[in-house]
Amino acid sequence: MSYKKIIEEVYERVKNQEDTGRLATYIPELANVKAASFGVHVSTIKKEDFGFGDHLEKFSIQSISKVLTLSLAYTILGEDIWKRVDVEPSGTPFNSLLQLEADNGIPRNPFINAGAIVVADILMSNLKNPKEDFLQFVRSISNNSSINYNEKVAASEKSVGFRNIALCNFIKSFGNIHNNAEEVLDFYFNVCSLEMNCKELSDLFLFLANGGKNIQTGKQIVTKRQAKRLNAIMQTCGFYDEAGEFSFRVGLPGKSGVGGGIIAVHPDEFAIAVWSPRLNKKGNSYKGFSFLEEFTTVSKSSIF
């Protein structure tokens, strides 16, 4: 199937829709983003590559980076990783503390903040230079040495990160954070500040549409089994307490970030990145959600 015409038509329709979303102003630096930005880029297994709108403008990918930290930690620990973090949908907001008490400090999944903080702790224990080594991992998957952290965004998150500080220390009280909490959080905030554009994002995530293999170099990033598991967790947990709605309306494994980005993957077909910074009440891109719903409906490219 040629997706280019469908994506262009859907993009033009959604671009003109009223956007009732709001910027993530609780992170001061994200309040400065141009609210009307809207871009989409698709990368396919057949090495087609095209985008529309603001698809070459960089933005903070925020929680989308959690898929990448999990991928790296999974290659290091293998199935033992699930002793530290579960794989169940949370049904609660991304920064909730509620379930940690009942679950003895084991986060419900690796994509809520608590789970991603535990994954950051795992990487801290296993990487010599966590920030540099993780960045190198991301650059190697994307074949792009220009990808970097946004120091202003990381500092901005740190300045208001009281809930994440509470999460980290609460998990540590159960013994599920092994490193210094302040250092783990510094690493976590930097990871969330990672900047990419839609093209870079869809190119990078193509490995999860390709059985874990880098389509450009042929290198196996994660095993085929691990790619299957990562896609499954994106499907069930990638949108916090709106994951069921995303599966129902869009029907692809995906992950959102409060920077307004969404990445979605169709195994054996494509990766598609959308960016529109105004968020709905659940913290997901309003127009990004609408675009992907219409795209998979018109193209019949849901996995279901």
Q: Is residue 95 part of a domain?
A: yes
Tally of domains in the chain: 1
| DSSP of 174-239 | TT---S-HHHHHHHHHHHHT-EE-HHHHHHHHGGGTTTTB-TTT--BSS-HHHHHHHHHHHHHHTT
Q: Residue 170: what residue type? A: F
Q: Is residue 304 part of a domain?
A: no
pLDDT of amino acid 92: 76
Low-confidence ranges of the chain (pLDDT < 70): 1
Is residue 251 packed enough to be buried (19+ CB in 10 Å), middle (13-18) or exposed (0-12)? Answer: buried
What sign results for the dihedral spanned by CA atoms 89, 93, 99, 100?
positive
Tell which residue, 115, 39, 129, has the closest CA to residue 83: 115
- Cβ atoms of 77 and 122 within 8 Å: the answer is yes
Q: What is the pLDDT of residues 226-248, one digit of tens each?
A: 999 999 999 999 998 899 999 99
CATH of the domain at 116: 3.40.710.10
- Cβ atoms of 19 and 286 within 8 Å: the answer is yes
Q: Is residue 231 part of a domain?
A: yes
Q: Which domain holds residue 196?
A: 4-299
CA 213 to chain centre: 19
Q: Is residue 184 part of a domain?
A: yes
pLDDT of amino acid 1: 63
